[in-house]
Amino acid sequence: MLNQIVDNSYEKETAQAGDLAALASTKTNYFIFRLEPGGLFQTHRGVIPHDQLIGMKWGSEVLSHKGSPFYLLKPGIYEILSTTKRNTQIMYPKDIGFILMKMNIGLGTKMIEAGTGSGGFTQILSLMVGKEGHIYSYERREEMTNLARKNLAKIGAPENVTFYNRDIEEGFDQKDMDAVFLDLPNPYDYLAQVRSALVPGGQFGTLLPTTNQITKLLLELKRNNFEFIDVCEILMRFYQAEAEKFRPVDRMVAHTGYLIFARPINRLDQSNE
């Protein structure tokens, strides 16, 4: 299932039963679902039988029974994240992309995330680390863990994600992790637990919305022997892709949060200096 999502080579020219597919009516309106014989795609713009889509070439235009046009596409990671059902604020793609690079998250990475939420970030992490990696996801609220499980089922219920429904104040079950990311309002309260779970010199990251939270975190990072600390904010602006009216779009998602990264270090004993 993982390879099916991240493989953008389009080796199969046509959509097949069991494929994850997207019907797009505009650039911002994607409907993602799995193709099933006998299934129906239904919106206020009409109905399209799955059987009509199975065997159709990717990129083809198709009309609903009301005559509304859609395009059959393979959904990308961006579309999967954008259409994730959520009860909480999710991280934006602009932030996630930088987090993956900054924290060196890729094939084979074994990491912890705390604050699963709706599981949008969890989906991306699962796709990125592949079968050789593993994501250990902690969430205190049972209803959010259940929602995250349902959202992950969209990409095939991957086996490289393990959920824990508990408070991380008790600590993590894992040791020697490559990375730990906390999506919590008070990450400064759990730095001891983070150090205990990380491999020496591993990657720590978090996202916070306000500067007073960052100030408190920076103080605690120093007290807990974290260095190589970076704080940044990612801004992204879209433009209208029309030759005669090329300009910025009217709305821009500006501040979504501050990203903070650090690495735990072991200092020489003062008596030996």
Tell me the pLDDT tens digit for each residue of 256-273: 899 999 999 998 874 444
Choose between 88 and 18: higher pLDDT: 18
Q: What is the pLDDT of residues 143-167, one digit of tens each?
A: 999 999 988 887 776 899 999 999 9
Residues 265 and 190 in one domain: yes
Residues 66 and 186 in one domain: no
Which of these three, 12, 42, 75, is where a domain ends? 75
Q: Identify the domain containing residue 213 by its residue range.
A: 79-272
Instruction: Name residue 24's amino acid.
Output: A
Is residue 71 pLDDT above 60, yes or no?
yes
For residue 88, the model assigns a pLDDT of 61
Say how far apart CA 193 and CA 47 lie, in whole Å. Answer: 51
Is residue 253 pLDDT above 90, yes or no?
no
Query: DSSP 3-state assignment of 195?
Result: helix
Q: 150: which 2 tokens?
A: 């349902």
Residues 50 and 113 in one domain: no
- Per 3-state DSSP, what percentage of the chain is helix, strand, and coil (rounded to 5)? 30, 30, 40
State the CATH number of the domain containing residue 24: 3.10.330.20
Query: DSSP 3-state assignment of 180?
Result: strand
Residues 64 and 175 in one domain: no
Strand ranges across the sheet with 258-264 = 161-164, 134-138, 110-114, 177-182, 198-208, 258-264, 226-232
Which of these three, 75, 96, 117, is where a domain ends? 75
Residues 18 and 53 in one domain: yes
Residues 119 and 27 in one domain: no
Residues 161 and 244 in one domain: yes
Indicate the pTM of the whole model. Answer: 0.83
Which of these three, 50, 75, 100, is where a domain ends? 75
Residues 121 and 253 in one domain: yes
Say how far apart CA 205 and CA 231 lie, in whole Å. Answer: 10
> How many domains, in total, are found in the chain?
2
